[in-house]
Structure 1
Amino acid sequence: MIDVLSAIFWLVVALGLLVTFHEYGHYWVARRCGVRVLRFSIGFGRPLLRWRNKEDTEFVVAAVPLGGYVKMLDDRETPVPTAERDQAFNHKSLGQRSAIVAAGPVFNLIFAVAAFWLMFMIGIADSRPLLGPTTGLAAEAGLEEQDLIVRIDEAKVQTWTHALLALIPPALDRRAVTVEVEDAGGFRQTTELALDRLGPDFREDRTLESIGLSIWRPDLPPVIDGVTDDGPAARAGLSAGDRVLAVGDTTIDGWNALSAAIPAAAGTGAPIELRIERDGRELEVQLQPTMQDGRPIIGITPPPPDAALQADMERAFAILRFGPLEGLGRAFNETWRLTAGTLGILGRMITGQASLANLSGPITIAQMAQDSARLGISRFLFFLGLISLSLAIINLLPIPVLDGGHLLYNLIEAIKGSPVSERGQVIGQTLGLVAVVGLMSLAVFNDIVRFFQ
């Protein structure tokens, strides 16, 4: 229950920030163009808070925080006195109306750049694309464990996020790519990864597995370094120096396997059986895990990494931190990289090359907001930048009821020399509403499917 409330809280925080910034873009440009704003609302439904400024604009915080709107003076909606028509939205020039409509998505882009800029100045820990064991197409291409991916085609990659953004589009297109890697000794070589040989069952959410790539993860020996006082392990008689050989029927060869086996064994609710080695003798013990933050805990700590593993970890992980000027350049690069990746996936979803399962709704966004907030301010800033960028792109789609649909109407007006007819606008709004509701329903359906997987 606490996790659900936490996820809802961070969803409200994230959407509140992004929607406010988006709607403020419309408001700010509208006021600069001399349009009177009647209401600035964050959320829909029953107002929780409301106040007015000196220009008599009503500001509202409403009960349902999934969106917002800016209502402007417009005699297509309500009669406008002759003396005030110069303040009405529909009496402004085509360029001014277009600027007001485009301002929301533009402000979302500005927010994304600002979020990434601040993230890079604070510093964000990220994993470099260091390979774990390889199989399939990756192994056939000569890629090996401990290789570091430095370039895919012409794209330089520094993180696994960058690598995935560079691999998914050609994988969907079934197009071979060149991959430059660097081994532990610093030697670089280039090879071809035959993505054109991927099978028809390829799924973009399993890109690495389909290609035969895996993420290198540091692993420690399954030797207990410390035992929590009065924890399940201590009560069972475990002590520092014990090596865990098996959990139930699962053989343990490293700390990663141990960490995965404990929750799996605890799922039955029965006591967990451990086989350990102590002073050359094998012993069997039983213990009952306790739950902490929704996870089964037995109360043991791993040993510290040795010098070799420490060197591997330094190669696999990095903190990306830059000064204001370089950070701003990096922020623009990150915005462009994510925009290109998002548009690429969106275009392939429209043509059927990418699965519609990529659409995410409020449940997934809430979970992402909570997870990123738990990982620290830098991760939360990345999440905010990514979602802000997504909102900008979605709002610019040429679908009536979205900002992009209004810009499409304006383009048609510029071409034909007169506004789209009222009947045409009504038909467009109806079709656009059906499309948006359909997309939202699909996104929520995808959320529910992910939740129960």
Structure 2
Amino acid sequence: MSEFFGSVWWLIVTLGLLITFHEYGHFVIARRCGVKVLKFSVGFGPALWSRFDRHGTQFVVAAIPLGGYVKMLDTREVDGAVGPSGLAGAFDRKSVGARMAITAAGPAFNLIFTLAAFWLMFVIGKPDFLPVIGPVDHLAASSGFAPGDRITAIAGKPVETWTDASLSVLMASMDRRDLVVDVTDAGGASHQRTLALSKLPAEVDERELGTQIGLSPRQWPIPPVIGSVAPDSAASRAHLEAGDRIVAIGGDAIKDWREVPEAIQKHAAADHPLDLSVERAGQTLVLSVQPTLKPADAADGTGKPQWLLGIGARPVDPHYDATLRYGLLAAVPKAFGETWKQTRDTLGMLGRMVSGQASLKNLSGVITIAQAANSSAQLGPAWFLNFLAIISLSLAILNLLPIPILDGGGLLYYLIELIKGSPLSERVQVTGQYVGLVLLMALMSLALYNDILRNIS
């Protein structure tokens, strides 16, 4: 399956699961509170499948899988006389407490899904990398870190995997907050080192933080085999093919894919082509390639012009050397702990974006979600469960924001009604819905814009 179709498929799977679970929360609590549910829809637009149950509720799977809704009986939408018994199950005739419970049920079910997904992830076992440091540069080198150091704790909290370590460092780097890191060096001796993140320049783009920090995991060999050749690129014009093994560039022997970019920058020039020796079908070929010069771009972390061939490495299986796995009972507190950690980090990131400490470029839309869904699915069920849990938690938090049109906006309306003893006027509520729609569309547009920029760059 191609990357595009894989991304589309896993996006549909992801949104289908999470939207269904979210809307089921509204549905089941509405039924419990005696509200008549008219329609349960997963997706928007034309119906692909539809049926009615014995209660008269229409269940629909629609063509556009970017949302869903539960439509309940409401006296404000009834046209004509139906009699008092016909409105007995109307949503707006229920108590404020019942309406708040129904509204909060969607995000609550997303939270339940998050806990369940993390629990199953820990039971299955999520493969990862040990927090062993590879090449160091920039800030990490000046802070005393060395290749072979194994991170055991950050800010006093134990670290088991490279993922945990890198996320902790990234969050602290946004705040320019120094971190105390406990390590065990290659000789087995314990040290406590301070990663001086406060020295990071304030103007550094967040996409460059990793480069400026200079910490990278222990590296495994990557064969110098071409996995892809971009159309209408220097490589395609020179007849390079996927599957070619690069033997030498400009006379320098190549043993690992990581040596390829450095050799290209070293030997490329505008006044002569680059000689590449490749192995193909048991034969060694020498091809002349004229690389394309890409102008300086801060997004690549170098700020310098780059010579490009238009080739990509052949995918290799990760060399996982750690697995987070727990028993059925032990995984329960771990799931709660991971949910709390992810909630704290998500709220922290939202706070940083509101305060300006983090760029709005961190907002991601449906394109990035689709790509991440596909990538995590390729890594195995545990990583996909981890992805589902994080997206489900993000949906819960997003829906609880006090923005009219979202569940959080509804809860805000009901809280005001509870305090003042009467609901807000219909005019105020409708105005709020329009304002909320504009805000939501603005956020979605910005997220989509960020997605497009990432893919272009």
Q: TM-score per shorter chain, which class?
A: 0.7 to 0.9
Offset of residue 144 of structure 1: 1.1
Q: What are the residue-to-residue correspondences of 1:152-301 with 2, within 5 Å? A: 152-219=154-221, 246-248=248-250, 251-252=252-253, 254-257=255-258, 273-274=276-277, 285-286=285-286
Q: What are the residue-to-residue correspondences of 1:77-226 with 2, within 5 Å? A: 77-79=77-79, 81-219=83-221
1:447 aligns with 2:451: yes
- Give 2:351's aligned residue: 347
Q: What are the residue-to-residue correspondences of 1:322-361 with 2, within 5 Å? A: 322-361=326-365
3-state DSSP of counterpart to 1:38: strand
Q: Is the 8 Å Cα contact of residues 278 and 284 (structure 2) preserved in structure 1? A: yes
Offset of residue 84 of structure 1: 3.5
Identity of aligned residues (%): 50
Change (3 A) 1:259 1:331: farther
Change (3 A) 1:214 1:252: farther
Q: Is the 8 Å Cα contact of residues 247 and 276 (structure 2) preserved in structure 1? A: no
Offset of residue 252 of structure 1: 4.5
CA RMSD of superposed structures (Å)? 3.3
Q: TM-score, normalised by structure 2?
A: 0.81
| Amino acid across the alignment from 1:41 | S
Offset of residue 78 of structure 1: 2.0
| Amino acid across the alignment from 2:338 | E
- Give 2:403's aligned residue: 399
3-state DSSP of counterpart to 2:134: coil
Supply the distance in 2 between the matched residues of 1:132 and 1:324 (Cα, whole angstroms): 34
* Partner of residue 433 from structure 1, selected from 426, 437, 440: 437
- Give 2:55's aligned residue: 55
1:26 aligns with 2:29: no
| Amino acid across the alignment from 1:14 | T
Q: TM-score, normalised by structure 1?
A: 0.82
- Give 1:279's aligned residue: none
3-state DSSP of counterpart to 1:14: helix
Offset of residue 148 of structure 1: 1.6
Offset of residue 102 of structure 1: 0.7
Change (3 A) 1:410 1:222: closer
Offset of residue 89 of structure 1: 1.0
| Amino acid across the alignment from 2:152 | V
3-state DSSP of counterpart to 1:48: strand
Supply the distance in 2 between the matched residues of 1:139 and 1:373 (Cα, whole angstroms): 35
Offset of residue 272 of structure 1: 7.0
Offset of residue 423 of structure 1: 2.0
Offset of residue 185 of structure 1: 3.3
Q: Is the 8 Å Cα contact of residues 142 and 191 (structure 1) preserved in structure 2? A: yes
Change (3 A) 1:221 1:95: closer
Q: Deviations over 1:111-159 (max 9, x none)?
A: 1111111111111211122212222222222111111222221332222
- Give 1:307's aligned residue: none
Supply the distance in 2 between the matched residues of 1:262 and 1:364 (Cα, whole angstroms): 31
Q: Is the 8 Å Cα contact of residues 115 and 339 (structure 2) preserved in structure 1? A: yes
Supply the distance in 2 between the matched residues of 1:61 and 1:217 (Cα, whole angstroms): 46
Q: Deviations over 1:304-353 (max 9, x none)?
A: xxxxxxxxx99x72022211111222222211111111111111001111
Supply the distance in 1 between the matched residues of 2:443 and 2:326 (Cα, whole angstroms): 39
Q: Is the 8 Å Cα contact of residues 271 and 286 (structure 1) preserved in structure 2? A: no
| Amino acid across the alignment from 2:156 | E
Supply the distance in 1 between the matched residues of 2:31 and 2:177 (Cα, whole angstroms): 49
Q: Deviations over 1:343-388 (max 9, x none)?
A: 1111100111101111111111111111112222122111111111
Supply the distance in 2 between the matched residues of 1:186 and 1:106 (Cα, whole angstroms): 46
Q: Deviations over 1:51-71 (max 9, x none)?
A: 011111000011111000000
Supply the distance in 2 between the matched residues of 1:90 and 1:414 (Cα, whole angstroms): 14
| Amino acid across the alignment from 1:8 | V
Supply the distance in 2 between the matched residues of 1:391 and 1:408 (Cα, whole angstroms): 18
Aligned residue pairs: how many? Answer: 411
Offset of residue 298 of structure 1: 9.3
3-state DSSP of counterpart to 1:19: helix
Offset of residue 446 of structure 1: 0.6
Offset of residue 295 of structure 1: 7.4
Q: Is the 8 Å Cα contact of residues 262 and 296 (structure 1) preserved in structure 2? A: no
Supply the distance in 1 between the matched residues of 2:135 and 2:369 (Cα, whole angstroms): 32
Supply the distance in 2 between the matched residues of 1:211 and 1:271 (Cα, whole angstroms): 33
Query: Which ranges of structure 2 fall in alignment gaps of 5 or more residues?
Result: 226-239, 268-272, 289-309
Q: Is the 8 Å Cα contact of residues 248 and 272 (structure 1) preserved in structure 2? A: yes
Which stretch of the first structure deviates more once superposed, 14-23 or 77-86?
77-86
Supply the distance in 1 between the matched residues of 2:148 and 2:22 (Cα, whole angstroms): 44
1:13 aligns with 2:13: yes
